[in-house]
């Protein structure tokens, strides 16, 4: 029993371990957490020393985590979830009210759903009504006062001073390796619908020179566009989170797409304490983990 008591699972070390999984390596995890690479490595080595086992594989070409590391990751998710929820529960103030919140399809497929679920448990007297729409639609709804806030995707150069930036991401032209782009003539384009700002950029700016995009597939769903790309139907614009190993990034002859930002944008209304708390909790969670990971 004394040996067991001498071992500890440090919360910060578990958070670092999860960041390594989310971002695919120590260097990127350190950047997302705002730590040096040596600090991240030190936390993991201390955890390994406490548990007397290797958690990360350090052989070239090997998987990032050992079997023990994979096992610990499952526990780490649950431990950190309960830890963070306990802190919020013990420090929360009574809240009541209503929030009309807009989300994009991208954000509904991330662990934002978990954050919203916890918020509802901690603040049962706050009613959150969520609407999922394309970013351009949500922006219009905010302007009309139909939403209190929305988590939207925009081009990075469009970020407003009042926006809360959650994370940034790159936009890419992608295709299946079997798709051969014609040296001249139209390029088969897999497009979101008219409400997509990717599509608007592609047609307004992305057809400079002699390039011509011919829409051969149109779909409002990211899942549909991903399926069309992997079926070798043409070229699409997709953010990093939707890239698949079987996709190739196209760098020529198409122009480089702008960078993206996911932001919380609020309507121009009077303050809403319930919304203030929700936005603060979302921002804190995202900064702890370095982004919104895709739901499994």
pLDDT digits 0-9 by tens, 235-281 = 999 998 899 999 999 988 888 999 999 999 999 876 788 998 898 88
Between 164 and 64, name the one with better pLDDT.
164
Residue 294 domain-assigned? no
- Using an 8 Å Cβ cutoff, are 179 and 234 in contact? yes
Assign 98 to helix, strand or coil.
Answer: strand
- Using an 8 Å Cβ cutoff, are 235 and 249 in contact? no
Q: How is residue 117 written in tokens? A: 């679920």
Q: Give the Cα separation of 266 and 143 in Å (integer).
A: 9
Q: Give the Cα separation of 192 and 136 in Å (integer).
A: 12
> pLDDT above 90 covers what percent of the chain?
34
Tokens 């009504």 found at: 129
Whether residue 278 is found in the same domain as residue 216:
no
Residues with Cβ < 8 Å from 223, sequence gap 6 or more?
none
Whether residue 83 is found in the same domain as residue 31:
yes
Whether residue 66 is found in the same domain as residue 109:
no
| Domain that includes residue 135, residue range | 95-169+261-289
- Using an 8 Å Cβ cutoff, are 137 and 131 in contact? no
Q: Give the Cα separation of 154 and 284 in Å (integer).
A: 21
Q: How is residue 124 written in tokens? A: 């049962």
Whether residue 82 is found in the same domain as residue 12:
yes
**CATH number of the domain bearing residue 34:** 1.10.10.10
Q: How confident is the model at residue 208 (pLDDT cuts 50, 70, 90)?
A: low
- Using an 8 Å Cβ cutoff, are 237 and 148 in contact? no
Say if residue 293's pLDDT is above 60: no
Say if residue 1's pLDDT is above 50: no
Whether residue 19 is found in the same domain as residue 50:
yes
Whether residue 199 is found in the same domain as residue 174:
yes
Whether residue 191 is found in the same domain as residue 227:
yes
Residue 191 domain-assigned? yes
pLDDT digits 0-9 by tens, 19-49 = 888 777 888 888 877 788 888 888 888 888 8
Residue 110 domain-assigned? yes
Tokens 């490595």 found at: 41
Whether residue 161 is found in the same domain as residue 281:
yes
**CATH number of the domain bearing residue 280:** 3.40.190.10
pLDDT digits 0-9 by tens, 97-129 = 899 999 998 877 667 888 888 888 888 889 999
Whether residue 130 is found in the same domain as residue 78:
no
Whether residue 253 is found in the same domain as residue 175:
yes
Residue 295 domain-assigned? no
Residue 277 domain-assigned? yes
Query: For the chain, how many structural domains are there in total?
Result: 3
Residue that finishes a domain, picked among 27, 60, 89: 89
Residue that finishes a domain, picked among 60, 89, 118: 89
User: Distance from CA of residue 59 to its chain's centroid?
Assistant: 29
- Using an 8 Å Cβ cutoff, are 247 and 175 in contact? yes
Residue 138 domain-assigned? yes
pLDDT at 295 (0 to 100): 47
Residue that finishes a domain, picked among 46, 74, 89: 89
Q: Is the peptide bond before 187 cis (omega within 30 degrees of 0)?
A: no
Q: How is residue 208 written in tokens? A: 């400079």
Residue 245 domain-assigned? yes
pLDDT at 158 (0 to 100): 93
Whether residue 81 is found in the same domain as residue 122:
no
Residue 296 domain-assigned? no
- Using an 8 Å Cβ cutoff, are 191 and 173 in contact? no
Whether residue 114 is found in the same domain as residue 240:
no
């Amino acid at each position: 029993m004394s040996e067991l008591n001498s071992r500890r699972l440090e919360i910060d070390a578990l958070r670092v371990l999860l960041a390594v999984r989310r971002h695919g390596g120590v260097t990127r995890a350190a950047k997302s957490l705002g730590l040096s690479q040596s600090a991240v490595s030190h936390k993991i080595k201390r955890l390994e020393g406490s548990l007397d086992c290797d958690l990360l594989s350090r052989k070239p070409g090997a998987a990032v985590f050992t079997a023990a590391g994979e096992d610990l990751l499952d526990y780490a998710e649950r431990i950190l979830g309960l830890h963070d929820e306990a802190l919020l529960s013990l420090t929360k103030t009574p809240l009541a009210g209503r929030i009309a919140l807009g989300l994009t399809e991208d954000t509904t497929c991330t662990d934002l759903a978990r954050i919203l679920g916890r918020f509802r448990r901690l603040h049962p007297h706050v009613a959150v009504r969520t609407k999922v729409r394309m970013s351009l639609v949500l922006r219009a709804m905010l302007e009309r006062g139909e939403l209190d806030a929305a988590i939207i995707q925009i081009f990075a150069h469009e970020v407003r001073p009042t926006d809360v930036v959650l994370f940034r991401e790159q936009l890419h032209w992608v295709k299946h390796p079997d798709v051969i782009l014609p040296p001249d003539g139209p390029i088969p384009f897999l497009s979101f619908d008219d409400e997509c700002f990717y599509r608007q950029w592609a047609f307004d700016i992305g057809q400079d020179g002699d390039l011509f995009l011919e829409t051969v597939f149109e779909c409002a769903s990211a899942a549909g566009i991903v399926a069309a790309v992997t079926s070798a139907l043409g070229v699409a614009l997709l953010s990093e989170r939707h890239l698949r190993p079987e996709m190739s990034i196209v760098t020529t002859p198409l122009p480089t797409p702008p960078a993206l930002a996911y932001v919380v944008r609020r309507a121009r209304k009077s303050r809403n304490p319930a919304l203030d708390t929700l936005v603060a909790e979302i921002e804190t969670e995202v900064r702890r983990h370095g982004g919104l990971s895709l739901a499994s």
